[in-house]
Amino acid sequence: MTRMSMTNTPKTATIDDAEPIGRTLTRAFDHDPMMRWFFPDDASREARLGRYFTTIFTRQYVRHGVCEHTEAAAAFWAPPEAQAKAVPDAETIRELQDILGDRAPLFRDAVETAAAHTPQEPHWSLALIGADPAAQGQGHGAALLRSGLAKADAAGLPAYLESSSPSNLPFYEHFGFAVREEFRLPGNGPVLWGMWREPRGPEAS
């Protein structure tokens, strides 16, 4: 029996997409080194990841960023004008602290450390991108990455991301990113690779 592939055409995400996007990202990040560091308990990780992704989507990125999804992947971007607004407010912080439990201090330190390494020049920031492993190889992540980068290129701006998985670096390099910096999160946390991509003109797309 042939498995039907899911469409990988990017669509703008709305608040009504929170539940399926949360499920997709939970599956996508189940083995991510940073998410496993934040949520080390195997028994509760799935539920906590779902709450985490739903919270940052509904309270931050869908309000202020550019969120797109396919049937099996999602990406959250923050253009320059949205980056200051996309930081968690007090209520969001309380909700995240409840989700993270005793890992909340590590999360706070990680956010502060990453912020200190974020480039200061105007850029499009890829907050996260993830695809359901069941749809691997169907181009969902690539379609979302191309869509966001096209917007950055149209604005004539570079793009920045941080990856906590070394296996993902070649994927991003394929789309023009280069490692700009490597740093470890405090508390003996995972290593992050800051990656930068200069804008491209129409002839290079």
Per-residue pLDDT tens digits for 100-125: 999 999 999 999 999 999 999 999 99
pLDDT tens for residues 126-174?
999 999 999 988 999 999 999 999 999 999 999 999 999 999 999 999 9
| Sequence-ordered list of residues with C-beta below 8 angstroms from that of 48, at least 6 positions apart, any chain | 39, 99, 100
> Rounded to two decimals, what is the model's pTM?
0.91
Query: Considering the chain, what is the average pLDDT of its residues?
Result: 93
Delimit the domains of the chain by residue range.
12-155
pLDDT at 1 over 70: no
Per this entry, what is the length of the chain?
Answer: 205
- What's at 145, amino acid-wise? L
pLDDT band at residue 201, thresholds of 50, 70 and 90? confident
Candidates 20, 7, 37; CA nearest to 192 is 37
Q: Mean of the pLDDT values across residues 56-68? A: 95
What 48-52 contacts at long range (C-beta under 8 Å, 24+ apart), as own/partner pairs, is: 48/99, 48/100, 49/25, 50/22, 50/23, 50/26, 51/22, 51/99, 52/96, 52/99, 52/100
Span of 27-41, 86-100, 115-129, 178-192 with lowest mean pLDDT:
86-100
Whole-number pLDDT of residue 205: 46
- pLDDT band, residue 86 (cuts 50/70/90): confident
- What CATH number belongs to 12-155? 3.40.630.30
